[in-house]
Structure 1
Amino acid sequence: MNKTTLLRICSGLILIMVAACGAQKAAPKADEPDLAPLVAEVPKPDPADSFFAPVLDQLDDRLAASVTNDHVASLSYALIKDGQRVRSGFFGSRTLDGEEPVNDKTIYRLSSMTKPVTAVAILMLQEDGKLDLDDPITKYLPEMQSLRVSNSPGSSSKPAMHSAPETPTIRQLLTHTAGFGYAYGNQDYVNRQFVERNVLTAPSMDELVRRTAGIPLKYDPGTAWSYSIASDLQGAIIERITGQSLGDFMQARIFGPLNMTDTAFAVSAAQKDRLADATAWTPDTPIHRVDGPLATMDRASIPVDLGGQGLLSTLADYERFALMLLNEGTLDGQTLLKPESVTLLRTNALPVVDPASPRTFFKRKAGTGYGFGVGVVTDTIQSGLAAPEGTYYWDGASGTWFWIDPKNHVIFIGLQQNFSPAGVNRRPSAMRSVYHAIYSD
């Protein structure tokens, strides 16, 4: 056998050995266990381990005390981390004098937690190419062609006025900088007109727009933040663009895709036995049931779908809406918004603040701003909320609240029904408790 033949045989043997080594995993020795299965079975971290439980226990006790102190008939809440519930609490009964416990499917009036849903609907139409955020509102609401502005926004008597120097835009409606007043808050002339003209009880959306157009603005558009009827006007724009009621549009584009089966502007006959009682109290008046349309919430007594305050929902449903936002517009394969639209919604857009409002609920607090339908934490320390910058939130006049924290992937939702001047706003203290309990990365 010559040298060349020998080299070819050796090369072939080497190639065969290399191939065999690549094709087979080395078997462990008899006294060495195979560790590969153990590595594959390492469990994911439990989101609950991100929190110091005793602090959450204290929060639980304080929220339960809202019921035991006779401030509300019931309170339901959920704390979600990384898409999973860490805590939930259900205190009290659905009715004031009953014993039926509340749960995930109890229906609550959301009040102003409706505003972020309406903002999402506007952003969906923008993505559809049906509107531009910088469109003047008169493109859709021609009744607003001749808006006047108060020369004295805090005046209790009828002030001198001037013509609006420019037409408010949809973007200004989204940020409450269009200059409109509201039926709540200060008892100045402008806000009082919303009550005296029964704007929010108008028999139709067209009539609501017409009545609003006859009331002066508090400020020149774009010059101040003033909590306002802006979200209800967004609802009017949605209805005129789509030819649908606001509720029908939201059902088709938001509630249906997200499987929010109990969210609407009225309750059906089948849902009535899950509607929480609307209650009120004052330091001088014991807790009592509120009567009228607010109590029944049936379609016959609610002629207009109010985009600023009208929705009813459950803890389970609103959790799905919040998860969609936390997931940048998508949930369970359903995409409602592009990530850049969600970023717009949750980014502070305010260089201004209402300088005249003496009530803190109706003006921007230190360390916070406002995006589209939501407040935004801009400074953790100044806000006193302990939540990181970029956390966004809102509250309802009935005592409902929520926040979404993109940094820590946290959601908190609290639902109660307190329609009294003696407010029960639990969000700030709940925020501080959650962030005192959370372990920092």
Structure 2
Amino acid sequence: MLQRLAWAKSAAFSVLILAAACGQPAGNLADTPEIVETEAAAPDPAKSFTPSILVMLDEEMAAVVRQNKVASLSYVLIKDGERVASGFHGTRTLDTADPVDDRTIYRIYSMTKPVTAVGLLMLHEEGKFSLDDPITKFLPEMSKLEVFDGLSAGSIRTRPVNHVPTMRELLLHTAGFGYGDGRPDYVSQQFLTHQIDSAASSDELVEKVARIPLKYQPGEAWSYSIASDLQGVIIERITGQSLQQYLEERIFAPLDMADTGFTVDEADSSRLAILTSWTPEAGMQPLPGPIQTLRAAEVARYSGGHGLVSTIADYERFAAMLLNGGSLGDVRLLKPETVSMMVTNGLAFVDANTRLPLYRPSAGIGYGFGVGVVDDTIASGLGAPEGSFFWDGATGTWFWVDPRHDLIFIGMLQNMSSSPILMRRAAMQRVYHALITDYFPTPH
């Protein structure tokens, strides 16, 4: 439109010059034919994808329900702010025909981590801490940390830390802490032995973690860890609020995320998806215990690393806020530069011999604050362009945001077993297989 308008103005100016040269009265520009500007129709985001490949995507997502591996799987694909594909497969329970939809409540586990990181970064913007502050500013229990140095005759060897982990290292998961996620190393096993995840309060959590040595010197390597839970404790200590109160007041209510929180009220229990386990030998079985209900009386501690439940509709709003640089509509949570820092790879470890990156979540993937970041499309094998960011949850939930293509994808399922059902990689590969891109430069 700008090119057409520039041409029209140039043509009108040429009429004046030509008339003057011929000795004719030029008249007024108002006498020239009226130039009518028309707004070009906004492109249809759905036309950015090959429909037949999106059908293949849907079939792949539905297959795990059809094969009785999970009770349900829900997903949405959003481009340019519009949903262009979605699938809601299966039922909320095993014994009813209650279909899932975008308001079905799912346990999102580690998709809590980006939310906690946003909450902590909001306090950073308010000047409550510097990224280079030691974590002992808020966690004095961590003043005597040591680093695991091996086992000798059944006894543990340790060495002193060369510096107290910083807030930046805590956000990047480079502080050196372990995690009770089943890894076989000594430190990770100690998290299971001491039942860290069963701590009845935030204070008890910190005290228990402080007694376990670090896996490495702070800042020396990346390792997925308890760091996000500690971030949640720091939020509580800075604000004097519970993590639930703070996130509700500062994130969930402003973004209209009415179904996101750490517990499920009785009135909403009919929308909570069943959590199942699956193995090839035993098939799909419901998991027992309070994890099925998540009543307030059954949740002793709010976990910044894996405690939230949410819905497709709610998490879409959170992801859109990040895509928009910290705002959604009239609500701004973070400055664009803070979001940029959050979703930029902060890992710079390099092998001295090969000069190749070290200590990453996987090939071609770095880590920001609470999210994985694609920094090598080819090496990652995901198809997503550099700068895309994502994270997953232990029950199989996942999301990613692609700023280059103004794209969001969110997927939800509920499987907790030794046979994980992980669909993000397949979804990413299929979406970028379907995406129609223009490889030619736009003329100016």
Q: For residue 259 of structure 2, give the secondary structure of its aligned residue in structure 1.
A: coil
Task: Write the mapping of 1:31-430 to structure 2, written as runs, cut at 5 A.
Answer: 36=36, 39-40=38-39, 42-152=40-150, 159-352=156-349, 364-430=361-427
Q: Indicate conservation of the 8 Å contact 1:156/1:189, yes or no.
A: no
Q: d(CA) in 2 for partners of 1:285 and 1:56?
A: 32
Give the greater-gyration-radius structure (CA). Answer: 1
After TM superposition, where is structure 1 displaced by more than 6 Å over at least 4 residues in a row?
Answer: none
Amino acid at match of 1:192: Q
TM-score by length of 2: 0.88
What do residues 246-304 of structure 1 show as CA deviations (whole Å, max 9, x unaligned)?
A: 11111111001100000001111111110000100111111011111211111111111
Q: For residue 277 of structure 1, give the secondary structure of its aligned residue in structure 2.
A: coil
Per-residue deviation at 1:159?
2.9
Q: d(CA) in 2 for partners of 1:422 and 1:98?
A: 25
* Unpaired segments ≥5 residues, structure 1: 1-13, 28-34, 355-361
What do residues 374-409 of structure 1 show as CA deviations (whole Å, max 9, x unaligned)?
A: 011111111111110011011111000000001011
Per-residue deviation at 1:421?
1.0
Residue matched to 2:7: none
Q: d(CA) in 1 for partners of 2:385 and 2:360?
A: 21
Q: Indicate conservation of the 8 Å contact 2:178/2:224, yes or no.
A: yes
Q: For residue 389 of structure 1, give the secondary structure of its aligned residue in structure 2.
A: coil
* Unpaired segments ≥5 residues, structure 2: 1-23, 352-358, 439-444
Q: Indicate conservation of the 8 Å contact 2:397/2:413, yes or no.
A: yes
How has the CA–CA distance of structure 1 residues 237 and 156 changed in structure 2, closer, same or farther, with 3 Å as cutoff?
A: farther
Per-residue deviation at 1:156?
12
Amino acid at match of 1:111: Y
TM-score by length of 1: 0.89
Q: d(CA) in 2 for partners of 1:439 and 1:233?
A: 42
Per-residue deviation at 1:26?
5.0
Task: Give the total of aligned pairs.
Answer: 408
Q: For residue 420 of structure 1, give the secondary structure of its aligned residue in structure 2.
A: coil
How has the CA–CA distance of structure 1 residues 157 and 53 changed in structure 2, closer, same or farther, with 3 Å as cutoff?
A: farther
Q: For residue 61 of structure 2, give the secondary structure of its aligned residue in structure 1.
A: helix
Q: For residue 159 of structure 1, give the secondary structure of its aligned residue in structure 2.
A: strand
Per-residue deviation at 1:199?
1.2
Q: d(CA) in 2 for partners of 1:47 and 1:221?
A: 45
Q: d(CA) in 2 for partners of 1:151 and 1:353?
A: 22
Residue matched to 1:357: none
Q: d(CA) in 2 for partners of 1:159 and 1:175?
A: 27
Q: Indicate conservation of the 8 Å contact 2:365/2:372, yes or no.
A: yes
What do residues 36-64 of structure 1 show as CA deviations (whole Å, max 9, x unaligned)?
A: 48x34x43111000001111110100100
Backbone CA RMSD of aligned residues: 2.1
Amino acid at match of 1:390: G
Q: Give me the identity figure in percent.
A: 55
Q: d(CA) in 2 for partners of 1:134 and 1:289?
A: 45
Amino acid at match of 1:333: D
Q: d(CA) in 2 for partners of 1:207 and 1:342?
A: 32
Amino acid at match of 1:297: L
Q: Indicate conservation of the 8 Å contact 2:275/2:287, yes or no.
A: yes
Deviates more, 1:290-299 or 1:217-226: 290-299
Q: d(CA) in 1 for partners of 2:342 and 2:287?
A: 34
Q: For residue 213 of structure 2, give the secondary structure of its aligned residue in structure 1.
A: coil
